[in-house]
């Protein structure tokens, strides 16, 4: 596996300030596939200084030229799609088909969408005797997670560049090789030196240094709510804006009259994708009492089709979790569900048969889950579904809204208007109606402790702009 023993700062690969490194492991076989620098405060400072120096020139670059660079970046990502997919499969463990179609495919669309927005967006407007200017917020510190490593990078870097901002990226330590490939694509797209910079490193060191750096004007973070709170506190102390895309515990609400088999099947597929490592996954399935046992049986049957396997095998629908830490976390939640009295109807805490090597877990379904159980309240981030019973619509709304999260969800009903009426009562940033498809141009983000701000589309661009009014 190709990788750089260096940082990408001010348009070139340069040695890190220190000698500390991070081993990159293949979660399917636990073998080391790469080694990258563990960045220090000095590396972060060097990158921020480069971004700061490049900011005036990039901010003054006409939007049409910024659009041209983003178009070139999209084309680079498209040309290297297969290589990117193989890299993501190697360091994340996502099945190769999923890595190709989603992990590598979606960011190409997102990059293209921001190329178009940069060219068409109105960066000023007239309001009475005022001209209102929308200007770049400045240097962006972007801290991204490992579960969708390229998508999360592009969802921050592309709108920031479209807005005229410069960026320092600190990617997740589990998936830095994908970030290095992205940096190569940025260079090949002839984005000016210093506009994009990459520092690999550990969250508590490089991530914290970036979030706290006085030369950073906005921090954009995707990850756990616990870490998001700390970053928000750091930024708040400096009166610095943040964009936070955090955790979720989304409800898949199946109303009486909906196609039960379709709703359950789609719900299981949603959670099993990416081995359950999706912040917006519908991990709580809410079913009316009259259909509850039928739904539980359907869910158990559907999960049986997801056998953990070698992610490079074209037949595999599910790979390992990203790390030993994540595997142990998910198994711990499964054990907690059993100890709190939930009924295990599929899966369990033991390693899947024949998969003792690698960070594998069994796809798991719990029944008789009550809203106060840990597995119904906390984000597990693995292939674990909790099926909850409700007796009327009022109780379903109460259960669906009864967590600290509000990122996503789904509603299924025989009548579309009925589903929409229910969806309006949900405290969440997105709701899929009867299997509605994910829209890469629609705003993505959450209510409550699921975050601050939105990503994707014009709403995502707006996060990287600040407002100035000129009066005449």
**Domain total of the chain:** 2
Give yes or no for residue 222 having a pLDDT over 90.
yes
Residue 215: partners with Cβ closer than 8 Å, 6 or more residues away: 45, 48, 49, 51, 52, 139
Pairing of strands 31-37, 21-26: antiparallel
Q: Which CATH number is 291's domain given?
A: 3.40.309.10
200-204, 231-235, 322-326, 368-372: the lowest-pLDDT one: 231-235
- pLDDT category at 298 given cuts 50, 70, 90 is very high
Report the b/e string of 46-72 with b at 16+ CB within 10 A: bbbbbbbebbeebbebebeebbbbbbb
Q: What is the mean pLDDT of residues 420-447?
A: 98
- Whether residues 425 and 467 fall in one domain: no
- Is 442 within 8 Å of 456 (Cβ atoms)? yes
Report how far Cα 451 is from the mean position of its chain's Cα atoms: 12
pLDDT score, position 324: 98
Give yes or no for residue 319 having a pLDDT over 90.
yes
Within 10 A of 129 (CB to CB), how many other CB atoms are there? 8
Q: What is the mean pLDDT of residues 382-409?
A: 98
Give yes or no for residue 307 having a pLDDT over 90.
yes
- pLDDT category at 83 given cuts 50, 70, 90 is very high
- Whether residues 221 and 356 fall in one domain: no
- pLDDT category at 57 given cuts 50, 70, 90 is very high
pLDDT score, position 143: 98
What's the first-to-final CA gap in the chain, in angstroms?
A: 59
- Whether residues 242 and 289 fall in one domain: no
Residue 112 is assigned to a structural domain of this protein: yes
- Helix (DSSP H) and strand (DSSP E) numbers for the chain: 16, 20
Sign of the C-alpha dihedral computed for residues 349, 350, 354 and 357 taken in this order:
positive
Residue 1 is assigned to a structural domain of this protein: no
By C-alpha distance, which of 332, 320, 325, 274 is closest to 147? 274
DSSP annotation of 125: E
Q: What is the mean pLDDT of residues 345-355?
A: 96
Residue 2 is assigned to a structural domain of this protein: no
Containing 345, the helix (H) or strand (E) segment is: strand 343-346
- Whether residues 407 and 353 fall in one domain: yes
Residue 135 is assigned to a structural domain of this protein: yes
- Whether residues 185 and 287 fall in one domain: no
- pLDDT category at 454 given cuts 50, 70, 90 is very high
Within 10 A of 174 (CB to CB), how many other CB atoms are there? 21
Model confidence pLDDT, tens digit, residues 279-290: 999 999 999 999
Segments of 100-138 assigned E as strands: 124-127, 130-136
Within 10 A of 377 (CB to CB), how many other CB atoms are there? 15
pTM assigned to the model: 0.97
Tell me the residue range of the domain where 162 lies. 7-246+449-471
Q: What is the mean pLDDT of residues 378-400?
A: 98
- Is 235 within 8 Å of 267 (Cβ atoms)? no
Collapsed DSSP state (helix, strand, coil) of residue 300? helix
Q: Which percentage of the chain shows pLDDT scores above 70?
A: 100
Give yes or no for residue 1 having a pLDDT over 90.
no
Residue 104 is assigned to a structural domain of this protein: yes
- Computed on alpha carbons and rounded to an integer, the radius of gyration of the chain in Å comes to 22
Structure tokens at 83: 């290589």
- pLDDT category at 63 given cuts 50, 70, 90 is very high
Distance separating alpha carbons of residues 53 and 220, to the nearest angstrom: 20
- Whether residues 459 and 319 fall in one domain: no
Q: Which CATH number is 160's domain given?
A: 3.40.605.10
Residue 195 is assigned to a structural domain of this protein: yes
- Whether residues 57 and 148 fall in one domain: yes
- Is 463 within 8 Å of 455 (Cβ atoms)? yes
- Whether residues 216 and 362 fall in one domain: no
What are the residue ranges of helices labelled H in 350-434? 374-377, 393-400, 416-423
- Whether residues 214 and 257 fall in one domain: no
- pLDDT category at 24 given cuts 50, 70, 90 is very high
Residue 173 is assigned to a structural domain of this protein: yes
Distance separating alpha carbons of residues 150 and 103, to the nearest angstrom: 7
- Whether residues 356 and 461 fall in one domain: no
Give yes or no for residue 123 having a pLDDT over 90.
yes
Catalytic residue numbers? 245, 279
Give yes or no for residue 2 having a pLDDT over 90.
no
Residue 383: partners with Cβ closer than 8 Å, 6 or more residues away: 271, 272, 275, 276, 303, 306, 318, 330, 347, 361, 362, 363, 364
Structure tokens at 386: 């909790």
Give yes or no for residue 152 having a pLDDT over 90.
yes
- Whether residues 147 and 21 fall in one domain: yes
Containing 243, the helix (H) or strand (E) segment is: strand 242-245
Containing 37, the helix (H) or strand (E) segment is: strand 31-37
Q: What is the mean pLDDT of the chain?
A: 98
Residue 163 is assigned to a structural domain of this protein: yes
- Whether residues 466 and 432 fall in one domain: no
């Amino acid at each position: 596996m190709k990788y750089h023993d260096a940082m990408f700062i001010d348009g070139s690969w340069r040695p890190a300030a220190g000698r500390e490194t991070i081993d990159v492991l293949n979660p399917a076989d636990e073998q080391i596939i790469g080694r990258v620098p563990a960045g220090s405060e000095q590396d972060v400072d060097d990158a921020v200084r480069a971004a700061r120096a490049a900011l005036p020139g990039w901010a003054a670059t006409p939007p049409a030229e910024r659009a041209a660079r983003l178009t070139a970046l999209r084309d680079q990502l498209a040309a290297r799609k297969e290589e990117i997919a193989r890299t993501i499969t190697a360091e994340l463990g996502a099945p190769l088909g999923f890595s190709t179609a989603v992990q590598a495919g979606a960011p190409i669309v997102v990059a293209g969408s921001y190329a178009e927005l940069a060219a068409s967006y109105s960066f000023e407007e007239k309001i009475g005797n005022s001209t209102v200017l929308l200007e770049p917020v400045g240097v962006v510190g972007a801290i991204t997670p490992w579960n969708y490593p390229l998508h999360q990078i592009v969802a921050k870097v592309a709108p920031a560049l479209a807005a005229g901002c410069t960026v320092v990226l600190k990617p997740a330590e589990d998936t830095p090789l994908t970030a290095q490939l992205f940096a190569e694509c940025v260079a090949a797209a002839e984005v000016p030196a210093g506009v994009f910079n990459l520092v690999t490193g550990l969250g508590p060191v490089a991530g914290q240094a970036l979030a706290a750096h006085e030369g950073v004007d906005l921090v954009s973070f995707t990850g756990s709510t616990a870490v998001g709170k700390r970053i928000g506190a750091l930024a708040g102390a400096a009166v610095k804006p943040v964009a936070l895309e955090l955790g979720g515990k989304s409800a898949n609400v199946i109303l009486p009259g909906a196609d039960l088999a379709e709703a359950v099947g789609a719900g299981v597929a949603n959670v099993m994708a990416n081995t359950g490592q999706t912040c917006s996954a519908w991990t709580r399935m809410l079913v009316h009492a009259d259909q509850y046992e039928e739904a539980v049986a359907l869910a158990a049957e559907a999960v049986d089709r997801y056998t953990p396997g070698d992610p490079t095998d074209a037949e595999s629908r599910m790979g390992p979790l990203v790390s030993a830490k994540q595997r142990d976390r998910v198994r711990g939640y499964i054990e907690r569900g059993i100890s709190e009295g939930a009924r295990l109807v599929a899966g369990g805490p033991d390693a899947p048969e024949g998969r003792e090597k690698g960070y594998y877990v069994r796809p798991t379904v719990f029944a008789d889950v009550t809203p106060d159980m840990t597995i119904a309240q906390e984000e597990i981030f693995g292939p674990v579904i909790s099926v909850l019973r409700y007796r009327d619509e009022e109780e379903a709304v109460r259960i669906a809204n009864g967590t600290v999260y509000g990122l996503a969800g789904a509603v299924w009903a025989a009548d579309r208007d009925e589903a929409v009426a229910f969806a309006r009562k949900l405290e969440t940033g997105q709701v899929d109606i009867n299997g509605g498809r994910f829209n890469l141009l629609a705003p993505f983000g959450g209510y409550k402790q699921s975050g601050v701000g939105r990503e994707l589309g014009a709403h995502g661009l707006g996060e990287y702009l600040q407002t100035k009014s000129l009066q005449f």
